[in-house]
Amino acid sequence: MKGITVAIVLAFVASCAADDASEPFVSLAEQEATVCGVGPTVKGIDVSIYQGTINWTAVAGDGVKFAFIRTSDGLNSIDSKFESNWAGAKAAGIKRGAYQFFRPGQDALAQANLLLSKINNTIGPDDMPPVIDVEASDGQSAATITAKVKTWINRVKSVTGRDPIIYTGFYFWRDSVGAPDITSSPLWHAQYTTAACPNIPPPWDNWAFWQFTSSGTVAGISGNVDVNRWNGDMASFLAFLGPAGACGDMTCDAGETKLSCPADCGPCGTVGFAGGVIDDGDACFEGGGPEASMRHVSDAGKDGDLVWTHTTEDATEANYGTWHLVLEQAGKYKVEVYTDTAYAQSTKAKYVVAAGTAETDVVVDQTAATDWQSLGEFEFAEGGEQWIHLADNTGEPLADNVQLVFDAVRLTRVDDGTGSGNGGDELDPPGESSGCNAGGGQAGAFVLVGLIGLGGLRRRRR
């Protein structure tokens, strides 16, 4: 793999072709990003055509447990050794993963499809997720690089079910990419040093892999080779491998989250007996679709923030928001949504309320008030697989630049919990701090037990 250019004080530069350099000076702020491993590590390598013909049996005999194997440098330089390396690593019992040197100056979707074609659009049980190698700018701006990296990631994840790994380094990610938050992807950090702990790029708070030298020596390979560490023991590494797990198998597998599979990973939070507020920044809110089209603002909305996107008249949705609901107890709740006319322009916002086994569409004029607006009263079941969903395909044309907002939702209990009702008098609205409590406590444990055996939360997909 080509080395990442590392721009630091005194113009220190490290590359894959250069010998390991001594540890450079790092500022106090950079020292704060230094993250040590969790204990034992697992040895691995990454290879390409530059390593020539590899004796994979000898490599395995030298203690190498995994290998990242290059598919291509962008679209124009296909690695002719990929197929033989891919097969050879597996035959030797070495766990493998495919990586692609990403070219921001080329079509991101086409690059993603090229990598996918090399692995037959699947991840085997002993394979690592694919890797996007982000270390070249091709003269592109940080915003362009970020957008194209996300396009690549979204495409690969949509096919494999796993969040791809990002290979990059502290300075390149911070200075050339702009340090976007794509921390859902595991970090493969590049830093050639003899230091015990690397200083990783923001905003990651941990690393999965660390490429610590470009001049390693491994049996079965002529010349230097990149050497890496997995941040964990062999058991944790093996658990990281393979396709996304099956929801409902009682294990929070790789690729599963509290939103996609609360039965295995636990709920994102719970709505208590009296109700609660779920804001757009809470763990139980999911914003979907192209991230560039979901604008986050901090000068309006409930608690001073909201998300907005433009509406379309398309038959299918592109961007959406889903507030996932896990109820501590079944009952009737009044559902309200918060709208702020500083950004809200849609008069045809269609909220879909999934309560119990029923789905109800409610159209709201978001321009009507900067306040709570009622969607009605609904009978909710205990547990999860319930939600409120809002999508951009309201029927209002994209050309009209109509803004649709995603903000807070509020549930307020309107019965007494006995099933007999309380004469129509709703309980006091829950306080702003009562929300969807991620901490869980006794209520969280109760709901988690109730979720065992359930499938993943229903999620709208395009």
Is residue 324 a contact partner of residue 309, using CB atoms and an 8 Å limit?
Answer: no
Nearest to 260 by CA among 184, 209, 148, 207: 184
Q: Alpha carbon of 49 to those of 82, 83, 320, 455: distances in Å?
A: 8, 11, 43, 44
Which residues does residue 380 pair with via DSSP β-bridges, in sequence order? 331
Q: Catalytic: which of 30, 46, 226, 317?
A: 46
Instruction: For 29-45, give the DSSP string.
Output: HHHTTB----S--EEEE
CA distance 460 to 393: 13
Annotation says 133 is catalytic: yes
Amino acid in position 204: W
CB distance 97 to 70 below 8 Å: no
Segment holding 59, helix H or strand E: helix 56-61
**CB neighbours of 120 closer than 8 A, spacing ≥ 6?**
none
Given the residues 73, 127, 135, 264, select the one marked as catalytic.
Answer: 135
Catalytic residue list contains 282:
no
As a whole number of angstroms, the distance between CA 257 and CA 259 comes to: 5
400 labelled catalytic: no
Residue 209 and residue 187: Cα distance in Å, rounded? 6
Catalytic residue among 30, 73, 79, 133: 133
3-state secondary structure of 409: strand
Sheet containing strand 409-413, strands side by side: 275-278, 409-413, 331-339, 371-380
- Residues recognised as catalytic: 46, 133, 135
